[in-house]
Amino acid sequence: MSANVNVNLLTPEFILAGMGLLVLSLDLVLPKARRGILPWIGVAGLIAAVATALIYRWDRVEELYGGVFIADRYSLFFFAFLVILGGAVMIASVDYVKQHIKFPGEYYGILIFSILGMVLMASAGELLTAYIAMELLSFSLYVLVALRKYDSKSNESAAKYILLGAFSSAIMLYGISMVWGVTGTTFYDGIAAHLTANPDLDIGLIVGLSLIVAGLGFKVAAVPFHMWAPDVYEGAPTPVTAYLAIGSKAAAFALILRLFSEGLLPAIEDWRVLIATLAAATMVLGNLVAIRQENIKRMLAYSSIGQVGYLLLGVASLGVVDAGGAVVFSERASTGIMVHLVGYAVANLAAFLVVAVVYSRTGSDQISDYRGLAKKSPYLSLVLSVALFSLAGLPFFAGFVTKFYLFTAGAEAGFLWLSGLAMVASLVSLYYYLRVIQRAYVDQPSEGDEETAVERSTFFVPLTSWLMLGVLFVGMILIGVWPTELAAAADSASDALGTVRDVSTALVR
């Protein structure tokens, strides 16, 4: 270990870990009635962490422990994005937790730990660190999914999630060991150096990389590694479902993006077809199967599988081969992925929050029970419609801009067919989104107007959820109309990926 390790660099992560512990232990000492304060302490801690990170790491490019941990603009972008996302999920779940979950301390504490896992996934510069960060996230999620202890559905989905999660971790770990066996390193840049020096891939490396892809495919729920997702999404508490669908996916893509652009880019010609195939299968299957779902959580699960397909299209387009045969990193693709992740996160969170609120009132997740939602709560159905339109990619909402950007990257990298397929898939997605919107707006709530009036008066949206929905609503419109700042931030993050870091790496790898 060299003496110049700057542990202070990790301050934001320390704050996160400390907050997790603090929330957990406060839960032990606070009286039951006062535990409502826990999420707000957590949110304050998250804000402190983001602020510290932004101030402290703004212009820093550094590596810790010889490249295990990387602090650059890319890490910073995802730090801010993921922590804010986690905070949003935390606020969004306040009302739900109050009603349905008996362990608020565990819920919020573990949520913060999982956020720590997510941000480490984005900063890891080495396969094993990335793996451990991913496990921190996964273990937290296993607990969160199971938190409705007395609900058999929650239990079932937790069991499935743990078993398949362990399975995928094992696959991935095996892949990492294969890669290490062939290249002698687990550092991304070391792998890149090996790939550049040996353009013909060793068979062991191929198997290893395929297994890593399979393991990551599990985490992002790409076809054919997606089958756990709908069951788990359906059974998990709704805010956790939102978190699973957005947070864990965003973090996994943060990892994938760094791994594929810093580590595997030299061999892009070899793996891009595999990723493109996965992308095509994912977007087609996800969107087609979503059509037949009657449970809105399952529908959103399949639709988020479809979204993964679009993101994988971006991954397949990460490099463009120039005239001289050299692989050039495509900043457009990586920026596209990041921007789309943000747009997708905002819209999907809004949709899930509406689902959570509706569940709290009606006790049902069936699409047929969204009948007449517009009459009962115009606000909820407005936000839901905008969220679904955004997910479908209609202009003026976030989804259009981000999808368009992502698809141009695909078209530029020679995947015009895949971009076309993605657009067909988006068209299909509009079909099942419209089904929900039609239920909400067109169908009558129930017989008799008097009953409606009564329902409307009791169908109130709790203040926290109301405000959060408002913020998300504005976010969806804002990204749709003026995404320049977001794109600039994502772009500078891509810059960090594209350039070789100029830091002294004293250690021999």
Partner 1 sequence: MINEAGSWLIIGFPLASFVIIGAVIRPFFNRYAIVAGYLTILAVAISLGLSIFAFISVADAGGNIPFESREWLSFPGLVIPFGIMMDSLTVLMLITVAGVSLLVQVYGLGYMKGDKGYAKYFAFMSLFTASMLGLVLSRGVIQLYAFWELVGLSSYLLIGFWYTRPAAAAAAKKAFLMTRLGDFAFLLAILYIFTLGDDLLDIPHLYEAAQIGAIGATAATWAALGIFAGAVGKSAQFPLNTWLPDAMEGPTPVSALVHSATMVAAGVFLVGRFFPLFELSNEAMNTVALVGGFTAVFAASMGLVANDIKRVFAFSTISQLGYMFFAIGIGAYVAAFFHLFVHAWFKTLLFMSAGSVNHASGTFDMRYMGGLRKVMPFTYATTVIGGLSLAGIFPFAGFWSKDEIFAHAAEVDSPVGWIVLILGLTAAFMTAFYMFRVIFMTYHGKFRGGVDKENEDLRAAGEEIDEAHATARVHLAESPWTMVMPLLILAVAAVLAGYLTNPTAGYGIVDQHSFGEFMTENHQVFETHEAAVHAGAEPKFNYGIAFLSTLVALSGIALAYAMYQAKLISPANLTARFKPVHRILINKYYMDELYEDIIVRNIFYNRFAKRLASFDITILDGVNVQLASWTRRFSGVLGFIQDGQLQTYGAVASAGAVVAIVIFLFWA
Partner 2 sequence: MVEDYFRQYGLITVFAAIAMVVPISMLLMSWMATKIKVRPRRPTPVKLETYECGYGPVGGQWTFNARYYTFALLFVIFDVETVFLYPWASEFGVLSAQFGVFALLEVAVFGVILGIGWGYAWRKRALEWR
Residues at the contact surface with partner 2, assessed by CB under 8 A: 3, 21, 24-25, 28, 202-204
To the nearest whole angstrom, how small is the minimum distance from the Cβ of residue 138 to partner 1?
15
Q: Give rounded-to-5 percent helix, strand, coil for the chain.
A: 80, 5, 20
- Using the CB atoms, write b or e for 45-63: b if 16+ within 10 Å: bbeebbebbeeebeeebeb
User: Applying CB under 8 A, does 460 fall inside the site for partner 1?
Assistant: no
- x-or-dash pattern for partner 1, window 226-255, by CB under 8 A? -xx--x------------------------
Comparing CA positions, the residue from 307, 228, 318, 219 lying closest to residue 275 is 318
487 binds, among partner 2, partner 1, none (CB under 5 to 8 A by kind): partner 1
Nearer to partner 2 by C-beta: 76 or 116? 116
3-state secondary structure of 501: coil
Nearer to partner 1 by C-beta: 205 or 349? 205
Nearer to partner 2 by C-beta: 158 or 250? 158
To the nearest whole angstrom, how small is the minimum distance from the Cβ of residue 44 to partner 2?
19
- x-or-dash pattern for partner 1, window 294-333, by CB under 8 A? -------------------------------------xx-
Candidates 70-78, 82-90, 220-228, 253-261; binding stretch for partner 1 (CB under 8 A): 220-228
**Which residues have CB under 8 Å from 85's CB, separation 6+?**
246, 247, 250, 345, 349
Comparing CA positions, the residue from 210, 72, 77, 191 lying closest to residue 499 is 72
Rounded to whole angstroms, the Cα distance separating 110 from 103 reads 11
To the nearest whole angstrom, how small is the minimum distance from the Cβ of residue 74 to partner 1?
14
To the nearest whole angstrom, how small is the minimum distance from the Cβ of residue 319 to partner 1?
14
Nearer to partner 1 by C-beta: 213 or 346? 213
Question: Which of 69, 77, 271, 370 contacts partner 1 by CB under 8 A?
Answer: 271
Nearer to partner 1 by C-beta: 277 or 464? 277
Nearer to partner 2 by C-beta: 30 or 288? 30
To the nearest whole angstrom, how small is the minimum distance from the Cβ of residue 24 to partner 2?
6
Nearer to partner 2 by C-beta: 109 or 306? 109
24 binds, among partner 1, partner 2, none (CB under 5 to 8 A by kind): partner 2
Beta strand ranges found along 260-413 (DSSP E): 319-321, 327-329
Q: Is residue 429 within 8 Å of 303, Cβ to Cβ?
A: yes
Q: To 10 degrees, the CA torsion angle through 131, 134, 140, 145?
A: -120
**Which residues have CB under 8 Å from 504's CB, separation 6+?**
none
Question: Which of 11, 155, 295, 452 contacts partner 1 by CB under 8 A?
Answer: 155
User: Applying CB under 8 A, does 21 fall inside the site for partner 1?
Assistant: no
Nearer to partner 1 by C-beta: 109 or 230? 230
User: Applying CB under 8 A, does 338 fall inside the site for partner 1?
Assistant: no
Question: Which of 5, 423, 471, 503 contacts partner 1 by CB under 8 A?
Answer: 423
Residue showing tokens 């959820």: 465
Q: Is residue 428 within 8 Å of 292, Cβ to Cβ?
A: no
To the nearest whole angstrom, how small is the minimum distance from the Cβ of residue 28 to partner 2?
4
**Which residues have CB under 8 Å from 301's CB, separation 6+?**
229, 230, 233, 234, 241, 245
Residue 308 identity: V
Question: Which of 41, 64, 84, 206 contacts partner 1 by CB under 8 A?
Answer: 206
To the nearest whole angstrom, how small is the minimum distance from the Cβ of residue 7 to partner 2?
8
φ and ψ of 140, to 5 deg: -60, -40
User: Applying CB under 8 A, does 203 fall inside the site for partner 1?
Assistant: yes
Question: Which of 362, 408, 452, 464 contacts partner 1 by CB under 8 A?
Answer: 408
H/E segment holding residue 64: strand 62-64
Comparing CA positions, the residue from 477, 482, 352 lying closest to residue 88 is 352
Number of residues that bind partner 1 (CB under 8 A): 74
Nearer to partner 2 by C-beta: 178 or 285? 178
204 binds, among partner 2, partner 1, none (CB under 5 to 8 A by kind): partner 2
Rounded to whole angstroms, the Cα distance separating 187 from 263 reads 8
Q: Is residue 28 within 8 Å of 131, Cβ to Cβ?
A: no
Comparing CA positions, the residue from 77, 91, 72 lying closest to residue 468 is 91
Burial class (CB in 10 A: 0-12, 13-18, 19+), 487: buried
Nearer to partner 2 by C-beta: 28 or 33? 28
288 binds, among partner 1, partner 2, none (CB under 5 to 8 A by kind): partner 1
To the nearest whole angstrom, how small is the minimum distance from the Cβ of residue 348 to partner 2?
33
